[in-house]
Amino acid sequence: MDAMTQAVILEERYCARNYAPLPVVLARGQGAYLWDTQGRRYVDMMSAYSAASHGHAHPRILAVLAAQARRLAVPSRAYYNDQLGPFLKDLCTVSGLDAALPMNTGAEAVETAIKAARRWAYRVKRVARDQAEIVVASGNFHGRTTTIVGFSSEADYRDDFGPFTPGFRSVPFGDLAAMERAIGPNTAAILVEPVQGEAGIVVPPRGWLTGLRRICDARGVLLILDEVQSGLGRTGAWFAFEHDDIRPDGLILGKALGGGVLPVSAFVGRRDVMDVFTPGSHGSTFGGNPLAAAVGREALAIIRDEGLVERSRDLGAHALARLRAIDSPALKEIRGRGLWIGVEFDPRVASARLVCERLLARGVLSKETHGTVVRLAPPLIIARDDLDWALDQFAAVVAELSPRRRPAAA
């Protein structure tokens, strides 16, 4: 039996069926390339949902990872360590916020934000005990804990995982008037993604974030943005909130913060929001460990040193223009910001899954979301030639699926 078949059989036999992987077994990665067990090379147009924004096996990340692992990895936050302070200082500097609480996965940082918002409501805003509300947007994706899936609008994420945590209210994404109506005296925070990733790279109407900022200021409500996927250069800005020239009160980061090698996340915020945490009120065994802090700090430095924000902006605009030039009845909508593009297919012509399988056969790795959207989100370090090659393959797949009508016979 070959290595590929063996790997699939073992995973199917021993792993829970909570994913439906495409039929490829990956064994190695370098930059924007991935290789399968047969040695076949693919261009990564997915980058692990932004976790691999720096590309795979970035040499500077690997050097810091190895050096710090030898020095000190996980001593516990029962003690100070020499890596955490410098990391969080850099994180606050790039985000323009005051302080941070380090965690590991994105969902944990979202949970941290929820705790911060509730405590802030009780201790600063003086909301009555256990009455605090958080307003979210339908179509959201904030992770997989029971509290978080409880305010998801996606049946797949929720079904039979209840009972759910109360205290959340959901309004349509991008609808300012609905948001305004949902806010009451007990509202602690608005928690939204500035661009909805898992929903299919849904970009809100112009002015929506600015409007949310205005509402929050007027009503004494925290604006908390989940930039786990959109942050750190993905949209062609350090943070998606910069496109609207606002600043949130709380910011949730993850994915790319781990430089493609570790789960590193953080809740970053205004001083008075972070100050609601007192010793013993929240924690994580691994959060803020020196290995994660050293890697996170290097991940930020690389984004700056290699101009990844500008690359995302310029290559993203190039990719969007190329995709929009494809004339095909299979394509319903193409949307995106920076190197983060969702192509919505007409389900009567092709499922997004089929498109991803065809792309795979041509050496391009992508991932469908919600049945109809193909996500194109390569590592931000991708070479322009590789991006163009992957887009050529995409155009070829679209042409195969929806051959343009032959010119009428003369």
| Tokens standing for residue 202 | 């849904």
Task: Out of 64, 84, 103, 107, name the contact with ligand PLP by CB under 6 A.
Answer: 107
CA separation, residue 97 to residues 25, 134, 256 (Å): 41, 21, 19
- Return the DSSP state at 346: -
Q: Which residue number places its CB atom closest to ligand PLP? A: 106
157 vs 140: CA distance, rounded Å? 11
Q: Check residue 228 for interaction with ligand PLP (CB under 6 A).
A: yes
> Which of 193, 249, 298, 386 touches ligand PLP (CB under 6 A)?
193
Position 232 contacts ligand PLP (CB under 6 A): no
By three-state DSSP, how is residue 7 classified?
Answer: helix
From residue 65 to residue 104, the character string flagging contacts with ligand PLP as x (rule: CB under 6 A) and all else as - is: ----------------------------------------
DSSP notation for 380-407: TT--HHHHHHHHHHHHHHHHHHSPPPPP
Which of the ranges 62-70, 136-144, 243-251, 350-358 carries the binding residues for ligand PLP, by CB under 6 A?
Answer: 136-144
Nearer of residues 198 and 244 to ligand PLP, judged by Cβ: 198
Q: Tokens 């021993």 belong to which residue?
A: 14
> Counting contacts by CB under 6 A, is residue 105 touching ligand PLP?
yes
Contact status: 289 vs ligand PLP (CB under 6 A):
no
- State the DSSP H helix or E strand holding residue 257, giving kind and residue range, or none if neither: none
Task: Tell me how crowded residue 37 is: count the other CB atoms within 10 A of its CB.
Answer: 17
Active site residues: 141, 226, 255
**What is the secondary structure of 45-92 as a DSSP string?**
SSGGGGTTTT-BT-HHHHHHHHHHHHH-S---TTS--TTHHHHHHHHH
Site for ligand PLP contains 142 (CB under 6 A): yes
* Closest CB 50 distance from ligand PLP, rounded Å: 7
**Closer Cβ to ligand PLP, 229 or 402, answer by number:** 229
Q: Is 258 in the site for ligand PLP (CB under 6 A)?
A: no
Nearest approach, Cβ of residue 47 and ligand PLP (Å): 12
- Chain residues that interact with ligand PLP, rule: CB under 6 A: 49, 105-107, 110, 141-143, 193, 197-198, 226, 228-229, 254
